[in-house]
Structure 1
Amino acid sequence: MKQIFKKVSSLCTVLLMMAVLTLTGASAVWAEEVDDTVKQTLITTAEGLTDTIVTLGDEDIENYSKSSDAFTTSAMSAWAGSKSELGALKERSGEVEVKASDDGYTVTVPASFEKADANFVYVFDGSTGAPTSLTVDVQYSMAETLRRAVMNTIMGIAIVFIVLIFLSFLIYLFRFIPNPEAKKKAQAAAAPAPVPVAAPAVEEPADDTELIAVIAAAIAAAEGTTTDGFVVRSIRKINRKKR
């Protein structure tokens, strides 16, 4: 089975080219309508490819995935992504559908598997007749579709809550990050207010009225006169040196 895809692809190309050259003589007719002979050739080729692909094991898929042929790698990628969801092939059920396009053909091969049904959608090149790509379209049941929708909704809500919790945790950690500006403001608010300094008291000149009256009376007594004969205008202290 190592060269099975190359052989099938080569056979497909030869058969399709022979059919086109025999029936139409030009590849432009392919895009306009599907001739019965060409249609049957496409169906046979697509069914043969499907029967071959579904029997490949994991080791075969891995080996063919390393091929340089674009269709082979595309087919292996499509089947590897759907194999576990489908299980083993039960039968190829339903009618194979062939549609023509401007640049080739699209062939859909329905098949029933143990776990679900699937459509193998092949694209054939209109000028060469060779298959270019494969898509495995899994047909999920209504119950499975609803189950997947519910699971996706739950996953979305869970992711939103996880992100919110993570953001809340980050915001909580901000309080442990040092902030010099806030620290300075807190220290300034906690510092005691400066005590106002009292202005020095200004000494008011002493009232010497009583002292002048006493001195005047003493002088008058010493002189034997009254205080009417003289007036004491000022008092000055004289520092006498001790002998």
Structure 2
Amino acid sequence: MIDGMITDPPNIDRKASLGLALRQRILTMELAPGAVLDEVALSEEFGLSRPPVRELMRQMAGEGYIELEANRAARVSSMSYQSLRDFFLLAPMIYITANKLAAENRTRAELDALKQIQQSFQKAIDANDVEGRVFYNDEFHRQLGEMAHNVYLVPSLRRLQIDHARIGKIFYTHPNTPRMQEELELASRQHEEMIEAVERRDVDAAGELARLHLELSRRNMAMYATPEGLEAPTL
């Protein structure tokens, strides 16, 4: 602020805002898998020149959010049967390890931040806020990854989380049902139990809860893909 006037934020702040917005739009499926990213429109929306936008695109491609190919526009990372299969094959190993290391290495400040994220996740469930549920579930597991304090684990976890969030948005967008609400409340209780296990540094319990939590995700996906049939009327 200069002489009582608000000045425009520097390019670095605008670039950070663009990065945050793109990540959120991708995770919540506002930008669908395979969608073309309009570099010019993004530059204009966030008041940036083209070079910092391109630099951000390269960074996000390295993180797995975006696909870059020569002589083609940037696109949101695609999803397919193979990517879903790969996710559920590898995710247990990464999430279980993250939880175990978080229980070993967490700090009090990190644990307090995890509790705050969980409160926001529960509020999103109570408000039937699909995008909020997806976003805060992603933040919850991202925070656990940070608490692991392992430079080799975090990149793999973050890449898995991109598709985890998008899977959640796909399979929780259809109309709410009593069974779905029960599953969401179970997921929230598992979060609470993870917090308790990490707080008491119970490595085995933290790892087992991660396994159960992923099994819940897998079951929900199967429930959506193959819904229960309706009862035939009695003749």
- The TM tier, using the shorter chain, reads under 0.3
Q: What's the TM-score once normalised by structure 1's chain length? A: 0.23
Which has the larger share of helix? 2
- 1 or 2 for the larger relative contact order (CA 8 Å, sep ≥6)? 2
Which has the larger share of strand? 1
